[in-house]
Amino acid sequence: MPRLVLITASSPEIREVRRTRVLNFQQITMPYLAARVPAGWEVVHIDEEAEEIDWKIEADLVGITFHTPSAHHAYHIATHFRSRGICVIMGGPHVTLLPQEAGQYADVIFIGEAEGLWEEFLKSFETGSHRRVYQNAGPPFLKDVPISRKELFHRSDYTNGVLFATRGCSNQCDFCTVAVMYPHKLRMRPIAEVAAEYASFKGKVIIFWDDNIAGDMEYAKELFRAIAPYRKWWSSQASIHCGRDDKFLEAAAQSGCKQLFLGLESISQQSLAGVNKRFNRVEEYLQVIERIHSHGIAVQAGIVFGFDDDTPEIFRNTIDFLEEAGVQNATLNILTPFPGTPLYRKMKAEGRLLTQDWSKYNSRDDVVFKPKQMSVAELLTGFRYANERFYSLQSITKRLSRSLVQCWWSLPLNLAYSFQWRMMAQSGSPR
């Protein structure tokens, strides 16, 4: 029986970054792809976030998926297995952003979404008639998506329930890789199929791994009605539009939504305009967050520092705002111009890219471009200040006392992050 080894690659540096996160959810690409492998193949999944690669593992075919900061590491893995005479295929975000680069390290590459072509490739591999490059001419149908293979999940996080309902986003923010990865905009799976997969998880807590669960509000509301009877708890990412629609929030809350990750990005309207995200209106942020809270849903704010209109005051002002709004959690990142995005092209044209060492494109430890209104050191120091202050006991008290929504789990979570940041500060770690 031929053996397929699928690897979710993650470099040692990125693993170190992720270990600082209290919650670290299962990546689902490989378990979904494995579900499309025909009978007659043995499939193994190595998820480097959870286990080390066995470099001597027997394999007829090795498939690797990875994000940009793990690119060099993934190429190292590919080189090792190819030196053993094993065919290596690569796909995923970085391969789609830079296919020519990735093609130098793999026997076969998949650009963009693999559905349909993946099955075709496996058939031709068995007869030795496969091609070097696979790319769908149009967006694959998201109907009859086989349920992901749960026995290939590895991470011991707080949930094993991870799935997707939609793919892509109808917006085109300049810094976002989603618009490059899925140029065909937003597509949805049939609601009955999503609900069946949702129900198939034994655990209570589910993550919708969607880019924007609020991409189509009417679809989302129907989906929420379909999953409500299963009485599970769920969370997902959503654009600000969700906070303008009480019916959406009501349906979300009734179906078990406990937290929404809200892509606020910046509290500077000029910064948002500069990256084509004008639909975020800073003047309504407080009202939107209050409305989400009023439905019993916690808010995790997605914030990015380093936009062209950001001055050194942005760090203090942002945390002041997050405290005033009483957000339960936040993901703070350093702006990173990923290859293939309009932001990358702009920075390149302006001669502002400092490196093409992809391992530095990690959004947390390194600044890879010349900021406009501050130095690289100011951006790094400000970023660290913002994280430390956000997870200080004083800030946690301020934020969580403003709104007691979901306090029973967000308080311990905040305290765990607070502990980690203090440990890192003591050890001198830059993150």
Q: What is the distance between the alpha carbons of residues 399 and 393, in angstroms, rounded to a whole number?
A: 10
**Half-sphere exposure of residue 52, counting CA atoms within 13 Å on the CB side?**
3
Q: What is the distance between the alpha carbons of residues 251 and 380, in angstroms, rounded to a whole number?
A: 40
271 binds ligand SF4, rule: CB under 6 A: no
211 binds ligand SF4, rule: CB under 6 A: yes
Q: Are 59 and 5 in contact (CB under 8 A)?
A: yes
195 binds ligand SF4, rule: CB under 6 A: no
Which residues, in sequence order, are bridge partners of residue 302?
331
From the CB of 236, what's the least distance to ligand SF4, in Å?
A: 12
- 222 in helix, strand or coil? helix
176 binds ligand SF4, rule: CB under 6 A: yes
Closest C-alpha to 299, from 271, 320, 323, 275: 323
From the CB of 175, what's the least distance to ligand SF4, in Å?
A: 7
178 binds ligand SF4, rule: CB under 6 A: yes
Subset of residues 84 to 113 that bind ligand SF4, contact rule: CB under 6 A: none
Closest C-alpha to 422, from 379, 398, 387, 395: 387
> Binding ligand SF4 by CB under 6 A: which of 173, 205, 267, 319?
173
From the CB of 169, what's the least distance to ligand SF4, in Å?
A: 3
> Binding ligand SF4 by CB under 6 A: which of 63, 243, 263, 371?
263
70 vs 239, which CB is nearer to ligand SF4? Answer: 239
178 vs 379, which CB is nearer to ligand SF4? Answer: 178
Which segment (70-78, 176-184, 374-382, 401-409) binds ligand SF4 by CB under 6 A?
176-184
47 vs 265, which CB is nearer to ligand SF4? Answer: 265
From the CB of 263, what's the least distance to ligand SF4, in Å?
A: 5
Q: What is the distance between the alpha carbons of residues 297 and 196, in angstroms, rounded to a whole number?
A: 24
Closest C-alpha to 330, from 301, 305, 304: 301
How big is the chain, counted in residues? 431
107 vs 310, which CB is nearer to ligand SF4? Answer: 310
> Binding ligand SF4 by CB under 6 A: which of 26, 239, 318, 329?
239
226 binds ligand SF4, rule: CB under 6 A: no
* Sign for the pseudo-dihedral over CA of 349, 354, 356, 360: negative
171 binds ligand SF4, rule: CB under 6 A: yes
166 binds ligand SF4, rule: CB under 6 A: no
Q: Is 177 exposed, middle or buried (0-12, 13-18, 19+ CB in 10 A)?
A: buried
Q: What is the distance between the alpha carbons of residues 243 and 288, in angstroms, rounded to a whole number?
A: 5
> Binding ligand SF4 by CB under 6 A: which of 71, 106, 122, 179?
179
From the CB of 191, what's the least distance to ligand SF4, in Å?
A: 21
77 vs 272, which CB is nearer to ligand SF4? Answer: 272
From the CB of 214, what's the least distance to ligand SF4, in Å?
A: 9
Which segment (75-83, 164-172, 195-203, 310-318) binds ligand SF4 by CB under 6 A?
164-172
Q: Are 97 and 340 in contact (CB under 8 A)?
A: yes
Q: What is the distance between the alpha carbons of residues 76 and 79, in angstroms, rounded to a whole number?
A: 5
43 vs 242, which CB is nearer to ligand SF4? Answer: 242
211 vs 323, which CB is nearer to ligand SF4? Answer: 211
**Site mask, ligand SF4, residues 298-337, x = CB under 6 A?**
----------------------------------------
Total residues at interface with ligand SF4 (CB under 6 A): 11
171 vs 362, which CB is nearer to ligand SF4? Answer: 171
* Edge-first strand listing for the sheet containing 87-91: 42-47, 3-8, 61-65, 87-91, 108-111, 133-135
From the CB of 207, what's the least distance to ligand SF4, in Å?
A: 16
Q: Is 314 exposed, middle or buried (0-12, 13-18, 19+ CB in 10 A)?
A: buried
Ordered DSSP codes for 292-349: HHHTT-EEEEEEEE--TT--TTHHHHHHHHHHHHT-SEEEEEE----TTSHHHHHHHH
238 binds ligand SF4, rule: CB under 6 A: no
> Which spans of this chain sit near ligand SF4 (rule: CB under 6 A)?
169, 171-173, 176, 178-179, 211-212, 239, 263
